[in-house]
Amino acid sequence: MNPPLPDLTDRTDIIRLVDTFYERIRKDEKLGPIFNDIAKVNWATHLPKMYDFWDTVLFRSGTFRGDPLGVHARLVPWADMGRASFEHWLVLFRQTVADLFEGTNATVIVRSAEDMANVIYSKINNVPDPRFDPANLTPEQKARYATYRGT
């Protein structure tokens, strides 16, 4: 058996995760060209921004300033920003987390990435998010939302 992996505990772990993830993204056949050739990402500024982003998501550092929806929406005319691209991004992200970490925060960061991938994908492509379709709500959710509407 392999020794157990550590969980993410601080910004140093975020940095290791982000660096490893974007090393893989840059070399990826499908996503690499979107970053390298289409967006022509400046890695010296993008990587620290992503440290701040994940540090804010996981440890509430509050250091991230940006416009994730705008940035991805601007890519839609130039790159394939469809469901398959987001699924592929998530496969790489899940794999990177799983190779380096395990534990509660490792689970939380993957769940957060999945949620944000859904939101970004839906918003930039004008696809209604099926989770928020009233037809898909459980009776409990419907009852709960009905109480919000009244107030």
DSSP assignments along 36-67, one per residue: IIIS---HHHHHHHHHHHHHHHHH--------
**x-or-dash string of contact with ligand HEM, 89-128, rule CB under 6 A:** x-----------------------x--xx--x--------
Least distance (Å) from ligand HEM to the CB of residue 86? 5
As given in the structure block, the two tokens for residue 107 are 């689970």
The residue number with the shortest CB distance to ligand HEM is: 66
Residue list 1-30, contact with ligand HEM (CB under 6 A): none
Tell whether residue 67 is a contact of ligand HEM (CB under 6 A).
yes
Least distance (Å) from ligand HEM to the CB of residue 132? 18
Distance between CA atoms of 98 and 102, rounded to whole angstroms?
6
- With residues binned 3-state (H G I as helix, E B as strand, rest as coil), the percentages for the chain, rounded to 5, are 70, 0, 30
Least distance (Å) from ligand HEM to the CB of residue 22? 10
Binding residue (CB under 6 A) for ligand HEM from 5, 71, 76, 98: 71
Residue 66 neighbours by CB under 8 Å, 6+ apart = 49, 53
Binding footprint of ligand HEM on the chain (CB under 6 A): 31, 34-35, 39, 41, 46, 49, 53, 66-68, 71-72, 75, 81, 85-86, 89, 113, 116-117, 120
